[in-house]
Structure 1
Amino acid sequence: MVSRRLLRIKVLKALYGHFKGGDKTISGSEKELFLSIEKTYDLYHFLMQLFVEVADFAQNRIEIGKQKFRPTPEEKKPNTKFVDNKVVDILRKNEQLAKRLYQNKLSWECYPELVKKLYTRLVSSQYYIDYMNDAGRSFEQDQSLAINFFTNEIEDFDDLYQIVEDQSIYWIDEVEFVLGMIVRTIAKFREDQPSYKGLLPLYKDESDVEFAKRLFRKATVNHVQYREIVDEYTKNWDVDRIAYMDILILVEAIAELIDFKDIPVNITLNEYIDIAKYYSTPNSSVFINGVLDKIVKDLTEKKVIEKKGLGLIDPLSIIPEE
Structure 2
Amino acid sequence: MLSRRHLRVKVMQALFAYQRSEGAELAVGEKLLNHSLTKVYDLYIHQLSLLTEVHSFAKRQIEDGKAKRMPTEQELSPNTRFIENRVLVQLENHPQLEKHIAARRINWAEHSELIRRIFTAFKESSGYQDYMNGEVPTYKDERRIIYKLYEDFLVENEHLQSIFEEKSMLWMNDFEQVSDLVVRTISDFKKDIEFGGTLTPMYKDEEEDRAFVKDLFRKTATNNIEYQDMIEAKLVNWDLDRIASTDILLMKMAVSEFINISSIPTKVTMNEYIEISKEYSTPKSKMFINGILDKILAELKEQGKVKKMGKGLIGN
Q: TM-score, normalised by structure 2?
A: 0.89
**Whole-angstrom CA distance in 1 between matches of 2:157 and 2:291:** 36
**Whole-angstrom CA distance in 1 between matches of 2:121 and 2:315:** 45
The 5-angstrom pairing of residues 23-62 of structure 1 reads 23-62=23-62
Matched, 1:143 2:166: no
**Whole-angstrom CA distance in 2 between matches of 1:273 and 1:210:** 23
The 5-angstrom pairing of residues 224-239 of structure 1 reads 224-234=225-235, 236-239=237-240
**Whole-angstrom CA distance in 2 between matches of 1:109 and 1:232:** 58
Q: In structure 2, what residue type is equivalent to 1:158?
A: E
**Whole-angstrom CA distance in 1 between matches of 2:157 and 2:5:** 23
Query: Post-superposition shift, 1:45?
Result: 0.6
Aligned-pair Cα RMSD in Å:
2.6
Alignment correspondent of 1:217: 218
Greater CA deviation, 269-278 or 151-160?
151-160
Greater CA deviation, 119-128 or 175-184?
119-128
**Whole-angstrom CA distance in 2 between matches of 1:314 and 1:104:** 46
**Whole-angstrom CA distance in 2 between matches of 1:27 and 1:301:** 34
Query: Post-superposition shift, 1:203?
Result: 1.3
Percent identity of paired positions between Structure 1 and Structure 2: 39
**Whole-angstrom CA distance in 1 between matches of 2:112 and 2:281:** 36
Does the 8 Å CA contact 1:223/1:251 hold for their aligned counterparts?
yes
Instruction: Name structure 2 gaps, 5 residues minimum.
Output: none
Greater CA deviation, 204-213 or 301-310?
301-310
Alignment correspondent of 1:13: 13
Instruction: Name structure 1 gaps, 5 residues minimum.
Output: 316-322
SS in 2 for 1:112: helix
Matched, 1:83 2:83: yes
Does the 8 Å CA contact 1:90/1:193 hold for their aligned counterparts?
no
Alignment correspondent of 2:254: 253
Query: Post-superposition shift, 1:5?
Result: 1.2
- With over 3 angstroms needed to count, the CA separation of the structure-2 counterparts of 1:304 and 1:236, relative to structure 1, is farther
Question: What are the superposed Cα offsets for residues 176-219 of structure 1, whole Å, 9 maximum, x if unpaired?
Answer: 11121122222222335445962122211121111111111111
- With over 3 angstroms needed to count, the CA separation of the structure-2 counterparts of 1:310 and 1:6, relative to structure 1, is farther
SS in 1 for 2:82: coil
Q: TM-score, normalised by structure 1?
A: 0.87
Question: What are the superposed Cα offsets for residues 115-160 of structure 1, whole Å, 9 maximum, x if unpaired?
Answer: 2343244334433222212231433322222233333433433333
**Whole-angstrom CA distance in 1 between matches of 2:40 and 2:63:** 35
Matched, 1:269 2:270: yes
**Whole-angstrom CA distance in 1 between matches of 2:88 and 2:124:** 19
